[in-house]
Amino acid sequence: MAGALFEQEQICLAVMVINTNVGSVKVANMMRSSVSAMNDSLARLSSGSRIVHAADDAAGVAVATKFTSQTNRINAVRNTLANTLSFVQTADGFLQKANKALHRMGELATMAMDKTKSAGDLDNYNIEFQDLKKFMRDMQDRQMNGKDLFKGDNISVTNDAHGQSFSYTTAKLDGTTYSKMVDGDIYEPPPFTWQTTKETWKVSKNGYMLRQDANKITEKYYTISSDTTIFYLKQEAWYKEGVGWSTTNNGGTKYNAGSFIKEYDVAGHPDITHNPATQLGNAYAVSYGANVFISKHNPATTGNGNIEATEVITHNKDTFSNMDLNAVDAAIRPASDFYARGSFLAADPGAGISTTALSAGGMVAVNPITSGEDTAATNYAAGAYVTSDPTDVDVDPDAEETSQSHVLTNSGAKTAIKRVQRALEQLTSDRASLGTVMGRVHRTHDQLGVLRENLSQAVSRITDTNMAKESTKFARHQILVNSSTDMLKHANIVPQHALRLILGL
């Protein structure tokens, strides 16, 4: 019974009516949907964007907007990095020119130290030298876009889209290292002053400066003139021809402790042909060559040795020797005062001692007051300013002339070379720092380029239209619209059948 009623209801729904064309309504709705879908495809195909309206993909719009903003900031940062690179490269270009100028200044200073050059030659060298100094000073105020290149400024560089940055410091061409090299124009020899790096003394009288270590022997002493090796007997010993030396009586000649012996046939002595130091050991005898033998005892009269008086050289006290007294046995070593290289001597130490004549006002590195050689000498502490040249290799070679740079004198040229070397070292460091900045800028620029590319790809995947896929959709929707249009025409014919039925009555 229920099944029959359902079938009857279905039949009633499918009956022919005039007022409501249900089929036409259905077709129209389908046609409207197809037209809307086709219009959406047209918009995507014509704009190239998958998201024409925010409603198309709200989450996608939010993500794409964020990525696009980040991409725009990255582009701005890359522009900033490009500007920074230009700034640094400009500075480095100037420093390359400064490097050439400093090299030339070093050449001029070196040539000015040539003793064969005349005063006129030095003047010519100095003119070019001073012009190069002006060139270096002009460079101190160079700018790019109103920004100082060489004032030691701290420059901050943005290196990502979130505002992070790194900083570097520009070269400071007016800093101490450079300014000592390039300040001032000197065309005449300036007042000479030097700053010492160690304690020194200015002597008040003429004298000599030692060029080697030496000893002032303070008592009468003796040396040997011959090339013979001399032996000093520390204990008594006996020598027998054909047998040699013995520490006990071997029937030979006895030599007392403290005697001086040589291997030779001397009248009144046996013909000594054996080395006592070798036979008896160093506890009994010590050997000396003539060039290292020195004694406070006369070897010809001390003990009962075989040294002849004609071989002995007698020296008065307070004379100098360059022999190494520490190599001499303490029992025969004469009393002495040690004078280090660079010491001042009021009197000529004599032949065999290397010295240089020194005028009053000259500088020495060893205290002449305590030695008694010049009690009126003036002492200068390290860092003091002096008016006498202390740059001698045995005084204070690192002392620096404090006048502004020039090459008019040997001292000035020597100081100029030191200053050029320091300036070049600083320049090398400054250029290395700039090179580091350039490398970092390049790497950061490339890194941001990769990030921008990946962000652009991400945005494209979210927002860009897949043309092949969307074209397929458009074709489908277009076919459906055409089909719906045709079907709507047929659906509108259905009420006409009801009319024919009525007319047929």
Report H helices in 194-331: 276-280
Instruction: Compute the Cα dihedral for 256, 257, 260, 263 and give only its sign.
Output: positive
Q: Which CATH number fits domain 62-188+403-453: 2.60.40.1660, 3.60.150.10, 3.40.50.300, 1.20.1330.10?
A: 1.20.1330.10
Q: How many CA atoms lie within 13 A of 239 on its CB side?
A: 27
Alpha-helix residue ranges (DSSP H) falling in 48-175: 58-112, 119-139
Distances from the Cα of 423 to the Cα of 90, 240, 428, 499, angstroms: 20, 76, 8, 112
Indicate yes or no: pTM above 0.85. no
pLDDT per residue rounded down to tens, the chain (505 residues): 445 544 544 444 455 666 667 777 787 788 788 777 777 777 777 777 777 777 777 887 788 788 888 888 888 888 999 999 999 999 999 999 999 999 999 999 999 999 899 999 999 999 999 999 999 999 999 999 989 999 999 999 888 888 888 899 999 988 888 888 888 888 887 778 889 999 999 999 999 999 999 999 999 999 998 778 899 999 999 999 989 999 999 999 999 999 999 998 899 999 999 999 999 999 999 999 878 899 999 999 999 999 999 999 999 999 999 888 988 999 999 999 999 999 999 999 988 899 999 999 999 999 999 999 999 999 999 999 998 989 899 999 888 888 888 999 888 898 899 899 999 999 999 999 999 999 999 998 898 888 888 888 887 777 777 777 877 877 887 787 788 787 777 777 767 777 777 776 5
pLDDT value of residue 12: 45
Q: How many CA atoms lie within 13 A of 315 on its CB side?
A: 24
Contact partners, residue 445, CB within 8 Å, separation at least 6: 78, 81, 82, 85
Q: What is the pLDDT of residue 481?
A: 76
Alpha carbon distance 138, 97 (integer Å): 12
pLDDT at 49: 74
Domain with CATH 1.20.1330.10 in the chain: 62-188+403-453
Degrees, nearest 5: CA angle 326-331-336: 50
Distance of alpha carbon 215 from alpha carbon 340, whole angstroms: 8
Query: SS3 letters for 409-461?
Result: CHHHHHHHHHHHHHHHHHHHHHHHHHHHHHHHHHHHHHHHHHHHHHHHHHHHH
Strand partners, 196: none
pLDDT of res. 16: 64
Chain centroid offset of residue 358 CA: 41
